[in-house]
Each structure stands twice: as C-alpha cells, then as structure tokens.
Amino acid sequence: MTRFALTIEFDGTPFQGLQRQKHGPSVQQSLEEAAHKVTGETVTLHSAGRTDTGVHALAMRSHFDIEKDIEPFRLMEALNYHLRPDPIAVLDCREVDDEWHARFSCTGRSYEYRICNRRAPLTLEANRAWQVAQELDHQAMHRAAQALVGHHDFTTFRSVHCQAQSPVKTLDHLDVSREGEHVIIRTAARSFLHHQVRSMVGCLALVGMGRWREEQVGEALLARDRQELGLNAPPHGLYFVAATYPGEENEK
C-alpha cells in the first residue's frame, strides 16, 4: 500500500464543496471515481481543508492510499485524463510516508478572497469573484482587519453549523490590498472555523463601503455573538491558496 500526496486545483462552481455529499457532486467524489478507473480500487480522499459550495482552490493538498504499483507521474496523468471534463486538475503527485496526513499533518492554511470593485458586470470572472459596485476604501478595510489578527474567540465569525470543538483560533495575518479594480484579502492560520474567512470579509466590506466604523469589526469580535455579524461574503470569491507541512517550508 502506497500513500500518494496530491496538490489539486479546482473551480468550485459546479460542486457542492470538496467533501463528498449525498445531495450533489463534490470534488472528493470526482477524484475517488477517477482513482477507481485508474486502479480498480476504492479509495478515500483526505484533504487539508473543506470548502463550501462554489469555493475554489489553487493548491489544495490531499492524499489517498493505493495498492497498485504505479509511478506518481503516471498516476497524475491518468487521474487528469479521467477527471475530464470536471474543472479539477492534479498539479503534483508524490509518494509520502504512511504517517503523513493531508489534514492532521498540516501546520498552516492560507486563503485569498477576491472582490471585483466595479459597476460593469463580470464576464471573465463570473462565479470567480464577488462584485461590489460601490467604491471600497481598502485602506480602512486593512486597518479594521488588524483587530482580528492574533489569538481570539471567533464565535461571531463562526457558522452555526461549525463542528470545531472550540471557537478560539490564532490568525497569523489578515491583509487587504488593492490591485487595480480588485480588492484582495489574504489571510493565514493553522486552521479556520467554518465560514470564518467569508464572515470576516463581509464585515470588512461593510467598513470599505462606509456602512461600518473601523472599530465595529473589533467590537463584533469581542461580542462573541453570531447575531453581531454584519455580512457573510458569498462563496465564489474565496480561494484555498496553500497548505504547509513540516519539512516543506523551503520548497518552491
């Protein structure tokens, strides 16, 4: 039995999230079915994180175990062949130790949220960015975001369906910048609560629109009350960017 670590890119638009679902297609289902076509084996995909319906990934890390004797490159090529036409691509495939686990060995996760700040309708970025027509003050958003950095109880920014044992997380950074007509929010932590990134972005957008004072983000955090959440940003602007693991810090 060999454990293969995969790096996966996907467009989340047609899926009910990454994790296998009873009520619709998922990224996990597509990859497991592709692996079965390649090997004839029933495998279970484990991933660094879960994503909601419509959320995308630039480099999700996952793994499964296979008995068939196959080279990583051949496995990657075969998986990509059988994944078509689903918008999923295996970018990298390698053998790892049995102790390596895509979820439990992960020491850090990073996300990016993309807002297209313009009035004209989206064409190329439809379902891949959140369109906000009103001009956003990204500098005010960045200042407000700093209240969320560090070790906090993020109950206000946690979905009522979140299964995490504790609402306490440590946010490594939360940065807001403008790149032309785009406002980009980048964040990283060891782990995140369900809907945490989207909830933080929604409140920061209210600051950018002038509907919230900058201080209200910190006040909402201290309230530890989901009722104090101003706005949950839509899923289609969110991207899982990267997962980090011990020993991989210096890899490109």
d(CA 252, CA 119): 37
Quickly list DSSP for 85-145: TSSEEEEEEEEE-TT--TTTT--EEEEEEEEE--SSPPSTTTTTSEE--SPP-HHHHHHHH
8 A C-beta contact, residue 238 and residue 56: yes
Q: Which domains does the chain have, with CATH numbers?
A: 2-96 (3.30.70.580), 109-244 (3.30.70.660)
Coil, strand, or helix at residue 196? helix
Q: What residue has token string 């003050």?
A: 137
8 A C-beta contact, residue 103 and residue 87: no
pTM: 0.95
CA atoms within 13 A on the CB side of 241: 16
Residues serving a catalytic function are 52
Q: Which helix (H) or strand (E) holds 36?
A: helix 27-39
Residues of the chain with confidence (pLDDT) below 50: 252
Per-residue model confidence (pLDDT) at position 249? 62
d(CA 229, CA 48): 27
d(CA 34, CA 31): 5
Per-residue model confidence (pLDDT) at position 252? 47
Per-residue model confidence (pLDDT) at position 250? 56
d(CA 199, CA 148): 12
Neighbours of 214 (CB within 10 A): 18
The neighbouring-strand residues paired with 175 are 186
Sequence letter at residue 71: E
Residue 222 CB partners (closer than 8 Å, separation 6+): none
